[in-house]
Amino acid sequence: MEDYKSFTDSQLMQKVSEYDSKSLEELYDRYSPILYTLIKKIVADQKIAEEVLTDIFVIVWEKSRKIDLPINNVYTWLITLARNKAIDRKRRDESTEELPEYNDDYENDYVIPRLSKFIDPLDLNNALSVKENFEGALNDLTDAQQYVLYLAYYEGKTENEIAKKLNIPLPTVKSKIKVALTSLKHNLITGA
């Protein structure tokens, strides 16, 4: 009897890619709280958040047969997947315009994360372990920088939409985003 709780995220994802449903269950137990919290923050509705969370794990299971799952960085892949899916749902629920049909191609292009080929390994435990440092690094940003990051990440707005919303030029928005993330990274590394 295998003890799935002792498995690392990478081991679990490896087993999911081998169609081991127990591994997916363990992955759900580990990640559902943070993913659900993130999704609910974006869609602001419990029922929709639950639906999106369900969809996330269905996608993981289905894609395990079709794509190479990120074995070495499960955390970033799942967080990005949940964010993309929730933003897509939010846009579809709120948009008055006709959006592209949600099909397999669309999902692959716009929902499934495309992580860097050379990304450092990261799992849930490691991510949570740097939470305080990250909070400090974020707090060192200006309010405008934090707000731009908020609009982009949680509201799902593009640079152009942010510019319109804040009534500022697009290059300014691009610059703010670039500077905000560069500073955040710097603050986190230096521990400032």
Q: Which of residues 146-175 bind another protein (CB under 8 A)?
A: 149, 152-153, 156-160, 162, 174
What token pair was written down for 98?
A: 């006709």
Which residue from 151, 149, 152, 74 is spatially nearest to 113, judged by alpha carbons?
A: 74
Give the position of tokens 């933003």: 87
Rule CB under 8 A: is residue 138 a binding residue for another protein?
yes
Rule CB under 8 A: is residue 66 a binding residue for another protein?
no
How far is Cα 153 from Cα 169, in angstroms, rounded to an integer?
A: 19
**Interface residue with another protein, options 108, 125, 142, 182 (CB under 8 A):** 182
Q: Are 37 and 81 in contact (CB under 8 A)?
A: no
| CB count in 10 Å sphere of residue 24 | 20
**Interface residue with another protein, options 50, 69, 147, 168 (CB under 8 A):** 50
Q: How far is CA 43 from the centre of its chain?
A: 13
- Report in angstroms how near the CB of residue 96 gets to another protein at its nearest: 18
Q: Under the rule (CB under 8 A), what is the footprint of another protein?
A: 21, 24-25, 28, 32-34, 36-38, 40-41, 49-50, 53-54, 57-58, 61-62, 73, 75-76, 79-80, 83-84, 87, 113-120, 122, 127-128, 130-131, 134-135, 138, 149, 152-153, 156-160, 162, 174, 177-178, 180-182, 184-185, 188
